Chain A
Amino acid sequence: AQSVSQHNHHVILSEAASLELGCNYSYGGTVNLFWYVQYPGQHLQLLLKYFSGDPLVKGIKGFEAEFIKSKFSFNLRKPSVQWSDTAEYFCAVKASNTGKLIFGQGTTLQVKP
Chain B
Amino acid sequence: SAVISQKPSRDICQRGTSLTIQCQVDSQVTMMFWYRQQPGQSLTLIATANQGSEATYESGFVIDKFPISRPNLTFSTLTVSNLSPEDSSIYLCSARGGGVAGELFFGEGSRLTVL
Interface residue tally for chain A (C-beta within 8 Å): 19
Q: Could you tell me if B102 and A94 are in contact, using CB atoms closer than 8 angstroms? A: yes
Q: Range of interface residues on chain B?
A: 20 to 34
Q: Chain B contacts of A104 at CB under 8 A? A: 42
> Which of B21-78 touch A at CB < 8 Å?
31, 33, 35, 41-45, 48
Bound form: Cα–Cα A94–B44 in Å? 13
Q: Could you tell me if B101 and A101 are in contact, using CB atoms closer than 8 angstroms? A: no
How far apart are A47's CB and chain B's nearest CB, in angstroms?
A: 11
With A32-B102, A101-B33, A101-B94 already in contact, the answer to whether A43 and B108 are too (CB < 8 A) is: yes
Dominant secondary structure at the B interface: strand
Q: List 22 A-B contacts (CB under 8 A).
A: A34-B103, A34-B104, A42-B108, A43-B92, A43-B108, A44-B43, A44-B92, A46-B103, A49-B101, A49-B103, A90-B42, A90-B43, A94-B104, A99-B48, A99-B96, A100-B45, A101-B33, A101-B45, A101-B94, A102-B45, A103-B35, A103-B43
Give the A-binding residues of B (Cβ under 8 A).
31, 33, 35, 41-45, 48, 92, 94, 96, 100-104, 106-109
